[in-house]
Amino acid sequence: MASEKNTKTSTANNSKGAVFDAVVVGAGFAGMYMVYRLREMGLNVVACEEGDGVGGTWFWNRYPGARCDVESMEYSYEFSEALQQEWNWTERFASQAEILSYANHVADRFDLRPHIRFSTRVESAHFNERSNRWQVTTSAGNKLNARFCIMATGCLSSTNMPSIPGLDDFAGNFYHTGRWPQEGVDFSNRRVGIIGTGSSAIQSIPLVAEQAKSLTVFQRTATYSIPARNEALSASEIAETKANYAQLRADNKKQPAAFGARFKRGGGSALAASPKAVQKDLEARWELGGFGFMAGFNDFLLNEDANALAAEFVRNKIRGIVSDKATAELLCPDQIIGCKRLCFDTNYYDTYNRDDVHLVSVKNKPIERVTPNGLVTNDVEYVFDDLIFATGFDAMTGSLLRMDIRGRDGERLQDKWHAGPRTYLGLNMHGFPNLFTITGPGSPSVLANMVVATQQHVNWICAALKQMQADDKTLIEAEADAEDQWVEYVNTLASHTLYPTCNSWYLGANVPGKPRVFMPHLGFPAYVERCEEIVSAGYRGFAFS
Ligand code: NAP
C-alpha cells in the first residue's frame, strides 16, 4: 500500500472523483486526530465535515449550560505532550465554549484545516470491488475516491426529533439542543416549553428558567441527577496534574470508563455493608459531585437490591430539595439508577422551587400535538413563544445509517444492521473492507471517556494500516465468524448487568422502531486487552488481501 499522493491539499482527479488515500467523515475529536495521524503516516487524507467548524458534538451542542461531565483535564488529547502542557482548562468541568476553543486550537496548532472540507456532508460511500476503493459523494456535489473510508461521525450527533403532529404550524420558534443556533437564543420575556429531562435538559433548564418569563418542563421519564459541583481549577491543581499527566492518563486507562482514576473506589457489595456505611459513602460522594457517585460499591449496576439503595438515596435528596411535595414525587425516578446515563447538574432540582417553572408529566399521556400557540397534552393546551426539544439522539448508529453506505455486492449497511448493529471490535465490518468506524457500536465508546476511546481507535487503525503497508496488503476486512462471536460477546457482557433493564438510548429504546440491542461494549480495559491480544495473534478475525 503506497501513498497515492503525499501532498497536503492537491489531489489527482479521475472519472471517479478526487483521489485520496483516505476519506475521514467528521472533524470532531475523532476526525481531527485521525487526520493528524494519517498525515503523519504520509497518507493523502481529506475530511468532510457537515458543520462550518471543527469540534463535532461541541460544535453543535451550544445550548445554555452545555458542559462536559468528564473532568476537563481528563477529557483532552494526550497525543501531544506540548499540547497538554500548554493548554489551560479553567474549570473542573469545561463548558462547551471552552471545549470548542480547545478543538479550534488543536486544528490551528496542527494545521489540520487544509485537510478538512467544511459545510460538506457525506451522502454516500460505496465500495467498488473492481478498484477495491471507496467512492464517496458529498452534499457539495463532489465525488471522492479513496482506499480507506473512516467514519468519525460521533455517537451522539444524529438528533432525535419526535414526530409530533402540528410542529410546522407552530407560530413561535423551536430548537433542538443538539442543533443550537450559533448566535445563541435570547429567552428574555418569553414563555418557553422544553421537552425532555435527559442530560441536555438538565443542564439547560436552570439557565433558561433564569432568563425566560416562564418555563414548563415536559417530563416523560424522571431522571436521576447528581450535583456536578463544578468549580474553577486552581493553578496548583493544574500544575500538579500536568506534572503527572502521563501517570494520570495511564491510570485512567485502567478504569472501567477510562477516566476517574482519582475517584476513591470502594470494593465489595453494598448489600454486605451496613446501611449506615452505605448512606455515609453516598453522602460523601453526593458532596463531591460527578461520576464518582456510584463508585463506592461494585454491585450497584449488578444487583437490583444494591441499586435500590443508591436510588432511594437520590429520591430522598430530591424530596429534601423540592418544596412542593407533588412536584418532588413527580421528579423521583422509579427505574434502576445508572441504567440510563446518570446526569449531573447545577441547581436542577432547586429550579422547580421557582414560581415561574412548572413540571408536566407526559408519562401516561404523550404530547398529542403541537398547535400554532403551543402544545397539547392531557387535554390541556399549553401556550408558548418558544419550544426546546431536548429529546436526544439516534445514538451510535443514526449518523451511519443516515448515509447510504454500501459494501461488497452492493450490500447496504441499513440491511446489514436491520436487526441491530454488527461489527468486529466496533471498528470494522464483514462485507465492508477498509471501512472503519471510530467508537462504533460494539466498542466502549459512549461508556468511556470519548477522547480516550477515540485515540485508542485511531491508534489501532493506524497500526493496522502500517501492518498492511509492511505486508503489501490492500484490504482489511472482519471475518464473518469473528464478527458473529464479537456481537454475541458484547451482548453477553451487558446481560450480566442491569443495563438492559431500562429504555435507554444505549439500547436504541428512545427511537421508535429501532432494534433493541445494547450497543456499547462494557469495560474499557478489557476491551483494549482484547484489541491488543487480537493484534498479537496476527490480527485474528481479520482477513487481509
Ligand atoms: P436523552 O438523554 O436521550 O434525553 C432525551 C429526553 O427527551 C428524555 O428525557 C426522553 O424521555 C425525552 N423524550 C424523547 N422523546 C420524547 C417525546 N416524544 N416525548 C417526551 N419526551 C421525550 O438526550 P440528551 O439529554 O440530549 O443526552 C443524550 C446523551 O448525550 C447523554 O446521555 C450523554 O451521554 C450525552 N450528553 C452529555 C452531556 C454532558 O457530558 N454533560 C450533556 C448532554 C448530553 P425518555 O427518557 O422517556 O425517553
For 232-251, what is each residue's pLDDT tens digit? Answer: 999 999 999 999 999 999 99
pLDDT of res. 12: 63
**Shortest-distance Cα residue to atom 14 of ligand 1:** 391
Rounded Cα distance, 160 and 177, in Å:
10
| CATH entry, 8-159+395-544, from 3.40.50.1400, 3.50.50.60, 3.40.50.720, 3.30.70.270 | 3.50.50.60
CA of 391 to the centre of ligand 1 (A): 5
Residue 9 pLDDT level (bands cut at 50, 70, 90): very low
CA of 477 to the centre of ligand 1 (A): 35
pTM over 0.85? The answer is yes
Under 8 Å between Cβ of 201 and 192: no
For a pocket test of ligand 1, which of 348, 510, 514, 516 has the largest count of ligand atoms closer than 8 A to its C-beta?
510
CA of 380 to the centre of ligand 1 (A): 24
Q: In whole angstroms, how far apart are CA 469 and each of 7, 19, 25, 531, 543?
A: 18, 18, 22, 20, 15
Buried b (16+ CB within 10 A) or exposed e, 468-484: beeeeeebbbbeeebbe
Residue 10 pLDDT level (bands cut at 50, 70, 90): very low
* Ligand 1 atom with the shortest distance to the CA of 202: 25
Considering only residues 5 and 48, tell me which one the structure prediction assigns the higher pLDDT: 48
* Ligand 1 atom with the shortest distance to the CA of 344: 41
For 112-157, what is each residue's pLDDT tens digit? Answer: 999 999 999 999 999 999 999 999 999 999 999 999 999 999 999 9
CA of 198 to the centre of ligand 1 (A): 4
Residue 14 pLDDT level (bands cut at 50, 70, 90): low
For a pocket test of ligand 1, which of 179, 220, 330, 340 has the largest count of ligand atoms closer than 8 A to its C-beta?
220
- Specify the residue for cell string 503497508: 469
Q: Which of 73-87, 230-244, 250-264 has the lowest mean pLDDT?
A: 250-264
pLDDT of res. 450: 98
**Shortest-distance Cα residue to atom 18 of ligand 1:** 162
Query: Hey, what long-range contacts does 330-333 have (CB within 8 A, 24 or more apart)?
Result: 330/219, 330/222, 330/359, 330/361, 331/219, 331/222, 331/359, 332/222, 333/221, 333/222, 333/223, 333/224
* Ligand 1 atom with the shortest distance to the CA of 503: 48
Let me know the angle formed at the C-alpha of 208 by 202 and 213, rounded to the nearest 5 degrees. Answer: 135
Rounded Cα distance, 360 and 217, in Å:
6
Rounded Cα distance, 235 and 88, in Å:
9
Let me know the angle formed at the C-alpha of 374 by 371 and 375, rounded to the nearest 5 degrees. Answer: 70
**Shortest-distance Cα residue to atom 46 of ligand 1:** 221
64 lines ligand 1 (CB under 6 A): no
Rounded Cα distance, 15 and 13, in Å:
7
CA of 504 to the centre of ligand 1 (A): 9
CATH code of the domain made up of 161-223+340-392: 3.50.50.60
367 lines ligand 1 (CB under 6 A): yes
Residue 529: CB partners within 8 Å, gap ≥ 6? Answer: none
CA of 199 to the centre of ligand 1 (A): 6
- Specify the residue for cell string 480507506: 148
CA of 341 to the centre of ligand 1 (A): 9
Rounded Cα distance, 313 and 351, in Å:
20
CA of 178 to the centre of ligand 1 (A): 10
Percent helix / strand / coil, the chain, rounded to 5: 35, 20, 45
The x, y and z cell numbers of residue 397, run together, are 448508529
For 474-499, what is each residue's pLDDT tens digit? Answer: 999 999 999 999 999 999 999 999 99
- Phi, psi of 407, deg, nearest 5: -100, -145
**353 burial class (0-12, 13-18, 19+ CB within 10 angstroms)?**
middle
pLDDT of res. 70: 97
pLDDT of res. 378: 86
Rounded Cα distance, 446 and 23, in Å:
23
Residue 274 pLDDT level (bands cut at 50, 70, 90): very high
Domain boundaries, the chain: 8-159+395-544, 161-223+340-392, 263-338
For 159-208, what is each residue's pLDDT tens digit? Answer: 999 999 999 999 999 999 999 999 999 999 999 999 999 999 999 999 99
Rounded Cα distance, 33 and 109, in Å:
12
Under 8 Å between Cβ of 35 and 26: no
pLDDT of res. 262: 87
Rounded Cα distance, 389 and 367, in Å:
12
DSSP state of 539: S
398 lines ligand 1 (CB under 6 A): no
